[in-house]
Structure 1
Amino acid sequence: MDAPGDPEGPRPPGGEGPAGSARVMLRLRRLSREQLYVLISAASVNLGSMMCYSILGPFFPKEAEKKGASNTIIGMIFGCYALFELLASLVFGNYVVHIGAKFMFIAGMFVSGGVTILFGILDQVPEGPIFIAMCFLVRVMDAISFAAAVTASSSILAKAFPNNVATVLGSLEIFSGLGLILGPPVGGFLYQSFGYELPFIFLGCVVLLMVPLNMYILPNYESDPGQHSFWKLITLPKVGLLVFIINSLSSCFGFLDPTLSLFVLEKFNLPAGYVGLVFLGLALSYAISSPLFGLLSDKMPHVRKWLLVFGNLITAGCYVLLGPVPILHIQSQLWLLVLILVVHGISAGMSIIPTFPEILSCAYENGFEEGLSTLGLVSGLFSAMWSVGAFIGPTLGGFLYEKIGFEWAAAIQGLWALISALAMGLFYVLEHSRRRRRSKPQDILSTEEEKTALLPHDL
């Protein structure tokens, strides 16, 4: 793997072939100190941010109901996080070079830890509109800080590991998955044992303790501002469809936040501490499968398209069976629910991990310069478009859960994944067909040139 100062500069992912892949695997064992520090920093933000995000799932909907919030309002509280993460990611991705990636990373973690602690005192706020307004305010602040940290982290990672973006991002999803795994059960058991405040205070302090560590070890990258914009990137047809894939997947994840815990509590009568364990199947399978799909994406770039399409098709099937949808006449059982979540975690890893290198490769192919500026655009775009789905998922999910129940709401959610998979598959088929048509005239021209060159000798 090339160090950040590689004189050859970064190359688009997937251009090394089988022999090059073997050399990449050899270099993976020879990380520079700077690359190792980047991995540690990125792992810390993935772990901390995902714990902050997932800790609400097991008990916050129940507490919010006590404070007078409806299921629709609860879904909006979850969803507003993604909406403001979307807006912040677009800004931070565009100005990461001007602000400084390291400063953005550190400031984002610091604010995130502080507002997580603030979330822990919301039970002291009067119920009704005041409680709801404070939930929205704190959640928005957390979203902006999270967007800063994650956008900076992805840009720094892609800069430090230019030829193995999918492998590194996939490997670091272990820590995202670990955050998703630890957040619900830790939050649930702390809530059950000590009340509402302690889960947030404990987690906020953990995140704040990571700040001085990252201030010391994280390298500082500098780059000149680029000439391209988000608009040029997102209007590329392939990028637009990849964005649709990202939207559908993040919407599926977001749908589960306000709905799954309530469904499990009503359907299976589990204590709050055990509800968090239901999320374990999804998070654990995603964390384990993501590094494998990342390595596969870097070693065999041509399979990314199949991972994207089939991953979303499997996800669509999972959401039909999650309830399951009543027309199937399958009885809802806890073991079946957990099994479907495990399969969903694997299918999500198949689809999510290849999207970042696919967008990056498409940007390079369309004239975007290699450097931190383009990496910031791609990272910001990925975070922003993930946030679109993460806003729609819980907001629409909370509304549909209230109106038609979990079973039908989950099936409707799966329809989005199905449509995105079919659209992406159709694009790849048309792209392959266009390439074949372009290659035929070149082959004919080459044959005519050979005949012309040989004709005098034949005569």
Structure 2
Amino acid sequence: MPVCVQGDGSAGSAQETPRRLSREQLFVLISTASLNLGSMMFYSILGPFFPKEAENKGVSNTVIGMIFGCYALFDLVASLVFGKYLVHIGAKFMFVAGMFVSGGVTILFGVSDQVPEGPMFIAMCFLVRVADAVSFSAAVTASSSVLAKAFPNNVATVMGSLEIFSGLGLVLGPPLGGFLYQSFGYQMPFIFLGCILLLMVPLNMCILPNYESDPGEHSFWKLITLPKVTLIAFVINSLSSCFGFLDPTLSLFVLEKFNLPAGYVGLVFLGLALSYTISSPLFGLLSDKMPHLRKWLLVFGNLITAGCYMLLGPVPVLHIKSQLWLLVLILVINGISTGMSVIPTFPEILGCAYENGFEEGLSTLGLVSGLINAMWSVGAFIGPTLGGFLYEKIGFEWAAAVQGLWALTSGLAMGLFYLLEPSRRKRSKLQNILSTEEERTALLPDEIQP
């Protein structure tokens, strides 16, 4: 993939002749790819077997949803903190330290089955999930910032391409976790993945560049209160909530509805993961080559996602019989629509920040990266927590429809904003012209005095 680079390896201007990847940029890609793969494997590995294992330990579906959801809650807080203080801590140290801690606590999660059932088991699960959330938040916030720093003119393309590794983690996680659990028991999936993460630590210590920058003057509050950023944050919330909803509910629904063994339940998740993996690079390329399409990719992706969740059960009012092939097809379409919406969010927020006076540099990249991770975490907390509760009360079909309504609302709100944006900009431009004329008129008598 050609990118614009200067002689020192940093990204150059958009007008420079594209050349091959520099060594520094290649190392950034390798580091980010390793993190994406590891983080998504751990994120998805629990789905096929943990809900059933937790039920056997006397944990209710609501609490299972909270165990999934607490990860996102602490990821939210940590993302805001790490995004704000990225420059002070150092992007490389934050990345490597986060990956090291995450590998350790992943292995620790594997011994949770030795803890007595009931409150002690629940407390152990919460503690390990919280520690892993904070550590991965540090690594992901740092990696997104470093990636945008290394590829300022190709952010969406590079991020979309690296989603191949996120998707690969989603693809490998559920079936690998399910089959390791079936073959070797509860501990093996966590020990295997934890060791992989720890092996990645020395690699990234050696190859990840160390970017330095001065602290910025702007804050998360100024960024999130920009109307466009607020609406994009709402979109991110809805998408992550839909994703998170599936973690504690889909495996239980498939087991009950279609009587599949745990190893094959993981294969159902492949429809979502594979389609997201394949489509993300395409949407990243479209976002960079045709920036005017970003907003409509974002809007229509959300609307399609809403339709998918209405059909996932399907919702009873549609009177469509639930079938395994239909469920997999809807997950495939949902993976494509999620990629369509997620990939343009980073360049859209970053562009909006620059338009409103944020300085270009690692400080702003840290704010944007931390904000996106935090907003994703809000939905990822609400999705599993609310999903587990609604699954118990109204069943999977209606619970999925509720998630679809959230995506529908955010998609319509974002579409309305983009439709009204040209007229709003014209009014703003006219007001600036009028105010400039008034200032010139007020200054004119002073200018002609001797």
Matched, 1:88 2:78: yes
Q: Equivalent residue for 2:149?
A: 159
The separation in 2 between residues aligned to 1:232 and 1:376, in whole angstroms, is: 14
The separation in 2 between residues aligned to 1:419 and 1:84, in whole angstroms, is: 26
Q: Which amino acid in 2 is paired with 1:40?
A: I
- SS for the counterpart of 1:303 is helix
**Taking structure 1 as reference, are residues 437 and 80 closer, same or farther at Cα in structure 2, changes over 3 Å only?**
same
Matched, 1:349 2:339: yes
Q: How does 1:31-430 map to 2 (within 5 A)?
A: 31-430=21-420
- SS for the counterpart of 1:298 is helix
Deviations 1:370-398 (A, max 9, x none): 00000000000000000000000000000
Deviations 1:437-458 (A, max 9, x none): 56789999xxxxxxxxxxxxxx
Q: Is the 8 A contact 1:110 1:208 kept in 2?
A: yes
Deviations 1:229-271 (A, max 9, x none): 0000000000000000100000000000000000000000000
Q: Which amino acid in 1 is paired with 2:130?
A: V
Q: Shift of residue 3 of structure 1?
A: 3.3
Q: Shift of residue 162 of structure 1?
A: 0.5
The separation in 2 between residues aligned to 1:8 and 1:186, in whole angstroms, is: 38
**Taking structure 1 as reference, are residues 367 and 269 closer, same or farther at Cα in structure 2, changes over 3 Å only?**
same
Q: Which amino acid in 2 is paired with 1:151?
A: T
Q: Shift of residue 434 of structure 1?
A: 2.2
**Taking structure 1 as reference, are residues 129 and 440 closer, same or farther at Cα in structure 2, changes over 3 Å only?**
closer
Q: Is the 8 A contact 2:45 2:173 kept in 1?
A: yes
Q: Equivalent residue for 1:3?
A: 5
Q: Is the 8 A contact 2:69 2:380 kept in 1?
A: yes
Q: Which amino acid in 2 is paired with 1:325?
A: V
Q: Shift of residue 2 of structure 1?
A: 3.4
**Taking structure 1 as reference, are residues 367 and 8 closer, same or farther at Cα in structure 2, changes over 3 Å only?**
farther
Which moved further from structure 2: 387-396 or 428-437? 428-437
Q: Is the 8 A contact 1:4 1:161 kept in 2?
A: no
Q: Which amino acid in 2 is paired with 1:193?
A: S
Q: Which amino acid in 1 is paired with 2:203?
A: L
- SS for the counterpart of 1:31 is coil
Deviations 1:105-145 (A, max 9, x none): 00000011100000000000000000000000000000000
Q: Shift of residue 436 of structure 1?
A: 4.4
Q: Shift of residue 429 of structure 1?
A: 1.0
The separation in 2 between residues aligned to 1:389 and 1:74, in whole angstroms, is: 16
Q: Is the 8 A contact 1:265 1:271 kept in 2?
A: yes
Alpha-carbon RMSD across the aligned residues, in angstroms, is 1.8
Q: Is the 8 A contact 2:96 2:205 kept in 1?
A: yes
Which moved further from structure 2: 433-442 or 232-241? 433-442
**Taking structure 1 as reference, are residues 267 and 239 closer, same or farther at Cα in structure 2, changes over 3 Å only?**
same
Deviations 1:19-68 (A, max 9, x none): x6xx77x43xx000000000000000000011011100000000000001
The separation in 2 between residues aligned to 1:434 and 1:76, in whole angstroms, is: 42
- SS for the counterpart of 1:405 is helix
The separation in 1 between residues aligned to 2:166 and 2:422, in whole angstroms, is: 34
Q: Which amino acid in 2 is paired with 1:379?
A: S
- SS for the counterpart of 1:369 is coil
The separation in 2 between residues aligned to 1:7 and 1:439, in whole angstroms, is: 38
Deviations 1:351-371 (A, max 9, x none): 000000000000000000000
Deviations 1:144-175 (A, max 9, x none): 00100000000000000011110011001000
**Taking structure 1 as reference, are residues 364 and 7 closer, same or farther at Cα in structure 2, changes over 3 Å only?**
farther
Identity %: 84
Q: Shift of residue 4 of structure 1?
A: 7.0
Q: Is the 8 A contact 1:282 1:342 kept in 2?
A: yes
Q: Is the 8 A contact 2:11 2:150 kept in 1?
A: no
Q: Count how many residue pairs are aligned between Structure 1 and Structure 2.
A: 432
- SS for the counterpart of 2:152 is coil
| Structure 1, gaps ≥5 residues long | 445-459
TM-score (norm 2): 0.93
The separation in 1 between residues aligned to 2:267 and 2:29, in whole angstroms, is: 28
Deviations 1:277-335 (A, max 9, x none): 00000000001000000000000000001001100000000000000000100000000
| Structure 2, gaps ≥5 residues long | 435-450
Q: Is the 8 A contact 2:11 2:153 kept in 1?
A: no
Q: Shift of residue 433 of structure 1?
A: 1.9
Q: Is the 8 A contact 1:10 1:370 kept in 2?
A: no
**Taking structure 1 as reference, are residues 100 and 208 closer, same or farther at Cα in structure 2, changes over 3 Å only?**
same
Q: Shift of residue 5 of structure 1?
A: 6.9
The separation in 2 between residues aligned to 1:76 and 1:214, in whole angstroms, is: 33
- SS for the counterpart of 2:359 is coil
Q: Which amino acid in 1 is paired with 2:51?
A: P
Q: Is the 8 A contact 2:70 2:126 kept in 1?
A: yes
Deviations 1:420-444 (A, max 9, x none): 0010011111112223456789999
